């Protein structure tokens, strides 16, 4: 199989991000003004690549972020619910500070390797990995080559990247991500090789 280059970006900022509110699969917030500026700068940066397929999650914040690049490039945008953010269940919409104790206990379980532990009313990291990685695998099988740009979410990226990089999902906390940042991987012979991670230089000035 020929190599496939992946450009995987996190969506721009929303008011939930700005205010420190838990934002997961059940929250469908749009970009705020800063997020729009991040999306525009990301779109400009991505113009240097000849993307052959553009995909986002089905959430507004990802669709809007990818939309600026879609408009610039003329590429149609494919929206995939399988690439939505982790379902944070009972924690969604609540201030991070209000759930930090409960979330810390769950996070410790994940770090011990209990990646089937679910957020109350939500998903486990393993469930998120399985649905998202299956979708990425289907894209790889269908495309076979080229440059694929994907706009998704922070926790989803942590889960995928930790496994792809060989850290294991339990070490997803090691993965850094910023709103509007982009990551590049080259996929060949079943392996995702990182080119760069959490690149934010295109956002300078914001």
pLDDT in tens, 124-168: 999 999 999 999 999 999 999 999 999 999 999 999 999 999 999
The pLDDT of 177-205, averaged and rounded, is: 97
Select which of 85, 92, 123, 163 is catalytic: 85
Q: Indicate the pLDDT class of residue 205, thresholds 50, 70 and 90.
A: confident
Q: Is 202 a catalytic residue?
A: no
| Domain parsing of the chain, residue ranges | 4-203
Q: What is the CA radius of gyration of the chain?
A: 16
Select which of 11, 153, 177, 202 is catalytic: 11
Instruction: Write the burial class of residue 143 (CB in 10 Å: 0-12 exposed, 13-18 middle, 19+ buried).
Output: middle
DSSP string, 30-70: PB-HHHHHHHHHHHHHHTTS--SEEEE-SSHHHHHHHHHHH
Helices (H) and strands (E) in the chain, counts: 6, 6
Q: Is 11 a catalytic residue?
A: yes
State residue 1's pLDDT score: 56
The model scores a pTM over 0.85: yes
State residue 206's pLDDT score: 83
∠ at Cα 165 (163, 167), nearest 5°? 65
Superfamily assignment of 4-203 in CATH? Phosphoglycerate mutase-like (3.40.50.1240)
């Amino acid at each position: 199989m020929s190599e496939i280059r992946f450009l995987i970006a996190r969506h721009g900022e929303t008011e939930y991000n700005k205010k420190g509110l838990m934002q997961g699969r059940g929250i469908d917030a749009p970009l705020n003004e800063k997020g729009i500026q991040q999306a525009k700068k990301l779109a400009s940066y991505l113009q240097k690549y000849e993307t052959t397929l553009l995909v986002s999650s089905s959430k507004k914040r990802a669709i809007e972020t990818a939309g600026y690049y879609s408009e610039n490039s003329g590429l149609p945008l494919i929206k995939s619910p399988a690439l939505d953010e982790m379902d944070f269940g009972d924690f969604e919409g609540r201030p991070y500070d209000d759930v930090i104790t409960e979330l810390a206990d769950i996070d410790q379980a994940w770090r011990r390797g209990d990646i089937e532990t679910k957020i109350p009313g939500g998903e486990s990291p393993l469930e998120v990995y399985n649905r998202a990685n299956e979708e990425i695998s289907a894209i790889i099988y269908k495309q076979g080559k080229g440059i694929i740009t994907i706009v998704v979410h922070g926790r989803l990226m942590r889960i995928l990247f930790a496994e792809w990089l060989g850290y294991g999902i339990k070490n997803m906390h090691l993965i850094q991500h910023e709103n509007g940042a982009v990551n590049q991987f080259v996929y060949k012979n079943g392996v995702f090789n990182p080119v760069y991670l959490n690149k934010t230089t295109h956002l300078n000035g914001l």
